[in-house]
Structures are given as C-alpha cells and as structure tokens.
C-alpha cells in the first residue's frame, strides 16, 4: 500500500505492474497496462502510459516486496493469502485494505483514494502541478487544477509584494512631481 500512496498510480495499474517495468537505475517504473476484473488491458488513457518517478518511500516499498515476488518474474504485487497476482481490487478491499484502515483508525474509503492522497500530498508540499499530472497519467494539469486546487498552497509567500511595491513607489513618485498647467 505504501507504493500506491507514493506513486499515485491507479489501483488497476498497480495490479498490472511487473518487475520488468521497474528501472532501478533511473528510479522509475513504466506504467503501461491495467488489470481490470482479472484481465490485462491498456491504461485508461493514452497519457496513462508513462514513466513514474519513484520517490524514496515508493522505492522502499519495492525493495521490501522484492523478496516476496521478484523471483517469480511476473507481477510485483500479490494477494498474500493466495500468493497469486491481484485480480482486482475487491480482494484487496475486503482483506488487507480494510484491516489497515481499521488499524490506522481511518474511516473506510476505497483503495483508489491512495491516488487522491498522493495528489493532495504532492500539492500540499508545493510540487509542480504539471509534474504531478504527468506522474498520475493525465494529459495535462487541468484535472489537477479542477480536482485538487484547494490543496495548492501559496508556494511563494511573498507573492504580490513586487507589484505592490512597484505601484506604491510609482504612485509616490507621481504624487511628488509638481503639477504643471499647460
């Protein structure tokens, strides 16, 4: 789950990630397919095919997962009860997801909310919305702006002060000039 919270990938994309998609040298993962109701499909959109930068917590999650599924060579994330790749989010929702939420004292929400948590975390930290959109597989940052605008902080605490100073200076200069009549 840590990987989902720190990459913003859709749950269907998470279930379809393979070890061959991981680029350890560049610290990224290639998202290029989705698993929907047990079937491997293309990503939701053309922009969904992307390389996602792996932030340190996502890399840590992958490192921890290596001992469990890397030698199998297929999908990265498996259902711990069956040791088979997740077929969809229902088994996750009914098992480990629900238990994790309960243990954390968080009211129930769908696993897809990991994606929203990622977006709001990145925006709250002041990350570039266009970069976040690319990480999440959006064609542009319009969706980020419409959906998450309230999480965009004032990344420039002094925003507007240059214009105010310029205006005050020029207004003061203009007021101090003598008025000449023509």
Q: Which of 26, 37, 41, 44 is catalytic?
A: 44
Q: Is 138 a catalytic residue?
A: yes
Q: Which of 33, 115, 118, 134 is catalytic?
A: 115
Q: By C-alpha distance, which of 22, 2, 33 is closest to 117?
A: 2
Return d(Cα 13, Cα 61) in angstroms, integer: 16
Return d(Cα 45, Cα 43) in angstroms, integer: 5
Residues 6+ away with beta carbon under 8 Å from 116: 148
Beta 39-41 vs 34-36: how paired, if at all? antiparallel
Q: Which of 33, 35, 50, 148 is catalytic?
A: 148
Catalytic residues: 10, 44, 115, 138, 148
């Amino acid at each position: 789950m840590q990987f989902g919270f720190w990459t913003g990938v859709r749950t269907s994309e998470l279930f379809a990630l393979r070890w061959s998609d991981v680029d350890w040298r560049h610290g990224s993962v290639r998202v290029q397919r989705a698993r929907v109701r047990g079937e491997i499909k293309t990503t939701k959109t053309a922009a969904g095919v992307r390389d996602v930068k792996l932030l340190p917590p996502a890399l840590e999650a992958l490192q921890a997962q290596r001992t469990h599924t890397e030698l199998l060579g297929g999908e990265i994330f498996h259902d711990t009860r069956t040791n088979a790749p997740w077929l969809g989010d229902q088994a996750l929702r009914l098992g480990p997801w629900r238990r994790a939420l309960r243990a954390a004292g968080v009211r129930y929400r769908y696993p897809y909310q990991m994606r929203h948590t990622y977006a709001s975390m990145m925006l709250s930290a002041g990350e570039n919305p266009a970069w976040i959109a690319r990480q999440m597989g959006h064609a542009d940052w319009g969706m980020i702006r419409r959906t998450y605008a309230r999480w965009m902080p004032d990344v420039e605490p002094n925003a507007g002060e240059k214009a105010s100073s310029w205006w005050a200076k020029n207004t003061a200069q203009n007021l101090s000039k003598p008025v000449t009549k023509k």
